[in-house]
Structure 1
Amino acid sequence: MISHVIWDLGETLTTPPNSRMDVKPLTEYPEIELREHVLEVLETINKMGLKHAILSNTATSDSDVVRELLKRLHILDKFEYIFATKSELDPSVPEKPDSVVYHYVLDELDIRPDEAVMIGNTWDTDIIGANRIGMHAIWLQNPEISVRKDYDEKVVTPPWILPVWDLEAVPKALELLVGCSQGEERG
């Protein structure tokens, strides 16, 4: 049964820094804001009984910096767990889509892949990474934020990948995935 939603951060929950990459800690970018409808969507998902976590590839920001950013944005209390890879400038550090980072977060949450849904805007990292380990995913396909470079990567179903246009559609997509996972448990 699905119990957790694991969110990407940049371009999913927040706007990016003007430089597009956090070449300095995310807390040093006053222009970073919540994307439209984030708070309402987080609250709706809470009412569904699901918990929130973050798994984000970052360049210079570690998990503590991301916590400080979320505190500034008044949503830190919404998340059970936060993990920032601090990997984008160091090829030796694992990052999404590497299964090790997904499994690290799942182990910290003490859940299996089929008990979580990954939500992100980047096909090549957020969505394929989740799919490879058996986690459902919701792909934000809004052309302003969606990223896809690899059109040849094969997906396995289930787990399911649901495309949505923007954050407002996420709760309905989660309802579908929760329904599917309950049906799989009965079947």
Structure 2
Amino acid sequence: MIRKSAAATMLTAAAIAAAAAPAAAGPLDSLFGSSGSGSSDLLDTGSAALGSSGNKPQHFGKLGRPDAPNGVKSINVWVYAPKAQPISPGVYPRNSQLGVRWNSTIDSGPVIDGNECAMQIALSGPKIPAKAKLTKTADCTAVKSFSLRAPGSYAITVTDGISGASNSIKFDVQ
């Protein structure tokens, strides 16, 4: 009797956990989102789940100072391609709106969704207009896209000027 009860409890817990998972999250976002390979449209997929799972969250990129006033430990980044379909992994068509989406996380894992950051978004690649090379925002979690027309390799780095945390993504345009 006790075994059946324990098994039923475990199945119920698994069903509740599955129901609580974000419906729009891609199956690989929690594994690869922070390294720039994910493509989900959610801003905080992965990090929020890491913070609530009871496991020690993983932090990617250059870590922020432990005494930073905004508490940012790391920044997760993904390629943002709202309407473009990749030609192959990490390769997108020319003349597409492409960019970066990011979230900032604290040491325990939860996402900071506010304007207490000093983010700098640096775009590098072929034929970048001067005004697109560096963008600044106070948003700790956001997206930034660019109209990329020239083929080649691109990199986007997101850095929080308050904590010093940063992370980057790389992709190609054909």
Normalising by structure 2, what TM-score? 0.26
Q: Which structure: greater helix fraction?
A: 1
Specify the structure having the higher radius of gyration (Cα): 2
Q: Which structure: greater strand fraction?
A: 2
